[in-house]
């Protein structure tokens, strides 16, 4: 699996806001090494999703809308990538597969995906946050 730049950036932005409390988009881009257009796009989607709150004016910026310990890594990834299996079955156009119940590859992939999801559901933004950020 390969995480999109937006999902990766979202996790990094949320962990940074967990450490710094309030950050401007420029501060996020500089300290996290992200392109500003990506930061703009990700912050907008995180705000619409209820994860960030923006404040305008002096001392403005973005901050977490909910405590970092209440946000799982998986829910953030799914916000950007959707919720679908990493291993879609190559079934016929009509959806019928004659060996679906016997397919060992499909069953192994479903177990792997369940383990992957479980690990990221239990991992919170608070656990991902470093002690401090450079910059």
Residues 6 or more apart from 84 whose CB is under 8 A from it?
none
90-100: buried (b, 16+ CB within 10 Å) or exposed (e) per residue?
A: eeeeeeeeeee
Residues 54-70: tens digit of each pLDDT: 988 888 899 999 999 99
Domain ranges of the chain: 5-83+124-128
Residues 21-57: tens digit of each pLDDT: 899 999 999 999 999 999 999 999 999 999 999 988 8
Say how many C-beta atoms besides its own lie within 10 A of residue 15's C-beta: 24
pLDDT value at 102 more than 90: no
Say which CATH class 5-83+124-128 falls into: mainly alpha
The total number of residues written for the chain in this structure: 135
Calculate the alpha carbon distances from 2 to 55, 66, 93 in Å. 33, 27, 26
Say how many C-beta atoms besides its own lie within 10 A of residue 24's C-beta: 15
């Amino acid at each position: 699996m390969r995480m999109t730049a937006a999902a990766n950036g979202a996790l990094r932005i949320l962990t940074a806001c967990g450490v710094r409390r309030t950050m401007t988009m420029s501060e996020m881009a500089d300290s996290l090494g992200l392109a500003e257009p990506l930061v703009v796009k990700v912050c907008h989607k995180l705000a619409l999703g209820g994860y960030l709150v923006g404040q305008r004016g002096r001392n403005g910026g973005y901050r977490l809308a909910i405590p970092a310990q209440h946000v799982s890594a998986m829910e953030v990834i799914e916000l950007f990538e959707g919720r679908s299996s990493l291993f879609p079955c190559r079934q016929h156009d009509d959806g019928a597969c004659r060996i679906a119940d016997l397919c060992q590859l499909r069953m192994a992939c479903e177990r792997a995906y369940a383990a992957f999801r479980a690990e990221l559901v239990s991992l919170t933004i608070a656990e991902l946050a470093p002690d401090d950020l450079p910059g």
